[in-house]
């Protein structure tokens, strides 16, 4: 069974486990962390969280693609794709859950 958690649920769960901080402080902190990660990646940086994983950009060159409906050649511009590489601790934790 797949379970998804959105940003609001993430903040609510974090608030429930952090009695010393108010919901507003946790909300601001999570949003600030995500904004910092976005800004770092947008400036071609790398974000690494030990034990969790790293975020970086994979750059794709411009190329000539095809419209599948018409077969016409269309230019596809260069772009940067965010990429996540899980850390060892995360991979091991996920695999332990799968094997159990």
Task: Give Cα separations from 10 to 2, 5, 59, 100 (angstroms).
Answer: 16, 6, 30, 25
Mean pLDDT of 22-28: 90
**CATH 4.10.520.10 domain position(s) in the chain:** 48-100
Query: 66: closest CA among 57, 55, 74, 56?
Result: 74
Q: What is the pLDDT of residues 27-70, one digit of tens each?
A: 999 999 999 999 999 999 999 999 899 999 999 999 999 999 99
For residues 75 and 46, the answer to whether their CB atoms sit within 8 Å is no
CATH class of 48-100: few secondary structures
Query: Residue 2: its pLDDT value, please?
Result: 64
Nearest to 75 by CA among 84, 66, 83, 85: 66
């Amino acid at each position: 069974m797949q379970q998804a958690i959105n940003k609001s649920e993430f903040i609510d769960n974090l608030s429930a486990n952090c009695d010393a901080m108010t919901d507003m402080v946790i909300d601001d902190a999570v949003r600030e962390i995500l904004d910092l990660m976005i800004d770092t990646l947008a400036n071609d940086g790398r974000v690494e969280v030990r034990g969790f994983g790293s975020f970086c950009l994979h750059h794709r060159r411009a190329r000539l693609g095809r419209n599948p409906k018409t077969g016409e050649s269309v230019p596809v511009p260069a772009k940067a794709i965010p990429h996540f590489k899980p850390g060892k601790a995360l991979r091991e934790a996920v695999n332990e859950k799968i094997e159990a």
